[in-house]
Amino acid sequence: MVEEKMKVPFDVEQIRKQFPTLSQQVYGKNLVYLDNGATSQKPQVVIDAIAKYYSEDNSNIHRGVHHLSQVATEQYENARATIQRYINAPLLEEVLFTAGTTAGINMIAFSFGETLKEGDEIIISAMEHHSNIVPWQMLCERKKCVLKVIPINQKGELKMDVFESFLSEKTKLVSVTHISNTLGTINPIKEIIDQSHQAGAKVIVDGAQSIQHMKIDVQELDCDFFIFSGHKVFGPTGVGVVYGKKEMLDILPPYQGGGDMIAKVTFEKTTYNVLPHKFEAGTPNISGGICLGTAFEFLAEQDLDAIAKHEHHLAKFAEEEIVKIEGARIIGTAQNKTSVVSFVIDGLHPFDIGTLLDKQGVAVRTGHHCTQPLMDFFEIPGTIRASFAFYNTMEEVEIFIKALKRSVEMLR
Separation between Cα atoms, residue 365 and residue 358, nearest integer Å: 10
Active site residue 370: yes
Beta bridge partners of 203: 174
In the set 140, 145, 291, 370, the catalytic residue is 370
Beta bridge partners of 205: 176, 226
Listed in sequence order, the residues at least 6 apart from 201 whose beta carbon sits closer than 8 Å to its beta carbon are 123, 167, 171, 172, 173, 174
Instruction: Report CA Rg, the chain.
Output: 22
Total Cβ atoms within 10 A of residue 411 = 13
Say if residues 199 and 171 touch (Cβ distance below 8 Å). Answer: yes
Residue 228 backbone dihedrals phi, psi, to 5 degrees? -155, 165
| Paired sense of beta strands 383-387 and 340-345, if any | antiparallel
Listed in sequence order, the residues at least 6 apart from 324 whose beta carbon sits closer than 8 Å to its beta carbon are none
Say if residues 169 and 201 touch (Cβ distance below 8 Å). Answer: no
Active site residues: 370
